[in-house]
Amino acid sequence: MLPRQLDLAIISDVHLGTYGCHADELLDYLKSIRPRKLIINGDFIDGWAFSKSYFPDAHFEVIRYVLKMIRKGCKVIYITGNHDEFLRNYSDLTIGGLSIVDKYFMEIEGRKYWFFHGDIFDHSTKGINKYLAKAGGKGYDGLIVFNRLMNNVLVRLGREKYSLSKKIKSVVKHAVKFIHDFEANAAEAAIAKGFDVVICGHIHQPRMQYYRTSEGAVQYLNSGDWIENLTALEYFEGSWSLFHYPNKFTTIQNKAAIKMPEEVVFEAN
């Protein structure tokens, strides 16, 4: 089957170099599309967890394939995140079809877009909290590995897979509040700066929502991650879609179903 033509594809929070990364699935997805522009919205390589002892061939293959996409004419915008913050030393560097930036702006059909990873709104990644976040990141990686082993057993028993991390996030009030506050803060900042759309990563929560405050309104999009959700944002012929791997054929055939048919309005604080 020929790759799907896209105007724009956005991925984030791949975390290459960690046990939780679904590199094979991401590679399969990238081979299934042919975007004019690919935006990698942070945490592509996990510098916090990087180890010479663990960087499988599949992870290298993802990097090689992105470089192949560039050689074939795809423009790649790499927005730095907190886990690949070492690349912020090279911000605003452009080499051929690859640009490394801390944030990115563009206009699509008269609407102003603001892209950034999102750690600017997460105080747990700053100062002394950063070391706690790094330790938590290793624990999260261990949880994902355990969850994967558990799901292998469940599948063999003919039962559905189960996400431990999603369950924990859904029942821990602090986590739920953090996600809501992150989205509201990103939306309020975008409204204040006069943007029509703000697109983030960082919190591993795929989303297509509409926020309104007394100052205005903005569309908030989040591309999710390739650890738990395996999601990407796609833009083609004037429509945004939230792609969930591996439902690529459902996405193509039922595009209207995954477009945002009606915007959900939240009142940001």
Domain ranges within the chain, ordered by starting residue:
4-267
- Residue-level pLDDT at 247: 75
- Residue-level pLDDT at 137: 53
**What is the C-alpha separation between 168 and 150, in angstroms, rounded?**
16
Sequence-distant (6+) residues with CB within 8 A of 111 are: 196, 197
- Residue-level pLDDT at 172: 45
Strand ranges inside the chain, DSSP E = 4-11, 33-41, 75-79, 93-95, 98-101, 103-108, 111-116, 197-200, 207-213, 216-222, 231-236, 239-244, 265-267
Q: Which residue has 């892209």 as its token pair?
A: 115
For the domain spanning 4-267, the CATH number is: 3.60.21.10
In terms of C-beta density within 10 A (0-12 exposed, 13-18 middle, 19 or more buried), how is residue 269 classed?
A: exposed
In terms of C-beta density within 10 A (0-12 exposed, 13-18 middle, 19 or more buried), how is residue 202 classed?
A: buried
pLDDT per residue, tens digit, the chain (269 aa), is 789 999 999 999 999 999 889 999 999 999 999 999 999 999 999 987 776 678 999 999 999 999 999 999 999 999 999 999 999 999 999 999 999 999 999 999 999 999 999 998 865 555 444 444 454 455 566 667 677 777 777 778 888 776 766 655 554 445 567 788 899 999 999 999 999 999 999 999 999 999 998 999 999 999 999 998 999 999 998 889 999 998 754 333 333 333 333 333 344 44
Q: What is the model's pTM? A: 0.78
- Residue-level pLDDT at 130: 46
Q: What's the DSSP call for residue 125?
A: G
Task: Identify the three-state secondary structure at position 19.
Answer: coil
